[in-house]
Amino acid sequence: MLTKINGLADQALARIVPSTKAAAACTTLSYYDYKCVEHVKYRRHCVRDYTCYTTCTAWVSYTRC
């Protein structure tokens, strides 16, 4: 009897609450990005957060390449 009541309650709740697909969150990541322009190596620091949004600092001269 209790299982039947739980099943009816689940069905009623499914009609009220909209269903959504589950999505996996991104893993947090911190890294340096490099580029070489006219024998000067530049780098910038980038961070990706759990929502998959990546932000980077400005390019800074690092060394020669």
Considering the chain, what is the average pLDDT of its residues? 84
Q: Which two tokens stand for residue 62?
A: 């690092």
- HSE of 47, CA atoms in CB hemisphere, 13 A: 4
Residues of the chain with pLDDT under 50: none
Q: What is the pLDDT of residue 26?
A: 84
- Give dist(CA 40, CA 38) in Å, integer: 6
pLDDT at 35: 96
Supply the pLDDT for residue 37.
Answer: 95
Residue 25 has a pLDDT of 79
